[in-house]
Structure 1
Amino acid sequence: MRNGKLRSSANTRTAILDAAENLFAAASFDIVSMRDVAAKASVPLGLINYHFQSKEKLFEALIARRSDELNSRRRDAFAALKEKPDLRQVLDVFLRPYLDLMLEGGPGWRAYGRLLAQTGQAERWTRLITRHFKETQDIILDALVEAEPRLTKEAAARGYVHLVSIMFGMFAANDLLSVISKRAYSSRDLERAYEYALPFLTGAFEGLAAASAQPRRVAATRKKAASA
């Protein structure tokens, strides 16, 4: 009997998370109410309060639910990376696990992609997102500098911010590309989008590496001239 209650509680929690994920992704955190989530999940409002206490805690549970799996896949991908990878390989093992989940993980992952795109643009959620992705964030920052020693820590960090913005935009799969191309191309073709994003990002980090090295050369020249 107890096992049945535990399963029922877990199923209720999952139903609430699924409903909230779809509603928040389609609208926004501020627009969707707890009553909306209760209606979508077909549960009493009191059960949402019982499981999550507040809308903010419900939202954090949404971020945490899929971030754990994504982080796990990224850790495994980095662990399997060959010795002395180049920038493209480092970026690929960071991005591809997310791509695979978006393609194979079911419709919930598409909603999660839109949700992250929303939160990534909102200052109020910066600490939340950083907290749940900090481990793999630190891994890729170290890997980028190791793959391209000309990258300063500042350049890698600034580049990472742009990387995350592009990643969120790509996996949100909105209709911008379709609109500007007059429906010749679709943002919803994630594999095609990835074919363009990976070399674009690789080139961006190569450019950052070159720019990082330039001030060092200038400083070294000035130091040499001053000591002459």
Structure 2
Amino acid sequence: MKTSTSARATDNETGKPNRKEDILLSAERLFAMRSYDAVSIRDIADEAGVPSRLVGYYYGKKEDLFDAIFVHRQDNIAERRRRIQDADLQGPPEQALREIVNAWCGPVITMRDKPEGEHFLVLVARSVWEQSEVAIETIKRHYDALAEDFIAALAIIYPDRPRTWHCWAYQWSLGALLMHIADRRVERLSRGAAQPGDPSALPRLVSFLCAGIHAMAQEPAA
């Protein structure tokens, strides 16, 4: 993942530099690279090429700017929720499961394949893994509803399993998805043959997750 101060946002109507968006995208890159606690307002201002006072002028405190990044990317979260809610869960369990897993993963992999999406998704993964107080609250605010949608869909497909079962299925699926989008070690281990976030790997990722959940379902109910 690379950061660059050369690409500046511009206003679509006037063609002039969009300093507010520059600040947001610069913060997104830096938080993804270093973590929330390791980045200062001064760092963000320097990355965006603006005076420090403008960061506070546009976004307020650092935690407000952090939250604004997630608000800026709400369309991706909304698409995932819509696709899960629209999924047909009344067919065979294996078919229904594949539909919701694909709905949950697909928009993420599509976003990861775009330069502007990589920084955000690495930031999401870092926020989940590092568990800072601000990150925990931000993930809860923006992603818990999506998690609930996934868990609720699993409960329809596997109604004889307790909520804890559905929650573990979600949690372990999330771990695999985050590793796919954020961990670059696969490139080294494969000697360059595999790339992190590879969109062509989506069908295999979906198959992997479905196979794991389906295998769980074959075990006797506790």
Establish whether TM, by shorter chain, passes 0.5.
Answer: yes
Correspondent of 1:87 among 97, 108, 118: 97
Distance 1:83 1:196 in 2: 21
1:12 equivalent to 2:22? Answer no
Match of 1:99 in 2: 109
Q: 1:164 to 1:126 in 2, by over 3 A?
A: farther
Match of 1:73 in 2: 79
Q: 1:142 to 1:19 in 2, by over 3 A?
A: same
Distance 2:211 2:197 in 1: 23
Distance 2:103 2:181 in 1: 16
1:130 equivalent to 2:140? Answer yes
- What amino acid maps onto 2:71 in structure 1? A
Correspondent of 1:156 among 166, 170, 182: 166
Moved over 3 A (4+): none
Match of 1:142 in 2: 152
1:210 equivalent to 2:209? Answer no
1:182 equivalent to 2:191? Answer yes
Q: 1:83 to 1:207 in 2, by over 3 A?
A: closer
Q: CA deviation at 1:185?
A: 2.4
Query: What are the Cα deviations for residues 157-200 of structure 1, in whole angstroms up to 9, with x where unaligned?
Result: 1121112222122111x3211222232322242322x2322111
Structure number with higher helix proportion:
1
Distance 2:89 2:125 in 1: 32
Q: Over aligned residues, Cα RMSD in angstroms?
A: 2.3
Q: CA deviation at 1:100?
A: 2.1
- SS of match in other structure, 1:121: helix
- What amino acid maps onto 2:23 in structure 1? I
Q: 1:151 to 1:11 in 2, by over 3 A?
A: farther
Match of 2:69 in 1: 62
Distance 2:81 2:123 in 1: 22
- What amino acid maps onto 2:115 in structure 1? P
TM-score of the superposition, structure 2-length normalised? Answer: 0.82
- SS of match in other structure, 2:18: helix
Query: What are the Cα deviations for residues 104-151 of structure 1, in whole angstroms up to 9, with x where unaligned?
Result: xx4121111111111110222223202111222211111011112243
| 1:100-115 aligned within 5 A | 100-103=110-113, 106-115=114-123
Q: How many residues align?
A: 203
Conserved? CA contact 1:102–1:171, under 8 Å: yes
Match of 1:35 in 2: 42
Distance 2:161 2:173 in 1: 15
Identity of aligned residues (%): 24
Q: CA deviation at 1:90?
A: 1.3
Query: What are the Cα deviations for residues 26-71 of structure 1, in whole angstroms up to 9, with x where unaligned?
Result: 22222222111111112110011122222222112112221x1122
Q: 1:130 to 1:95 in 2, by over 3 A?
A: same
Distance 1:185 1:74 in 2: 26
- Any stretches of 5+ residues in structure 1 without a counterpart? 216-228
Conserved? CA contact 1:71–1:136, under 8 Å: yes
Q: 1:118 to 1:45 in 2, by over 3 A?
A: same
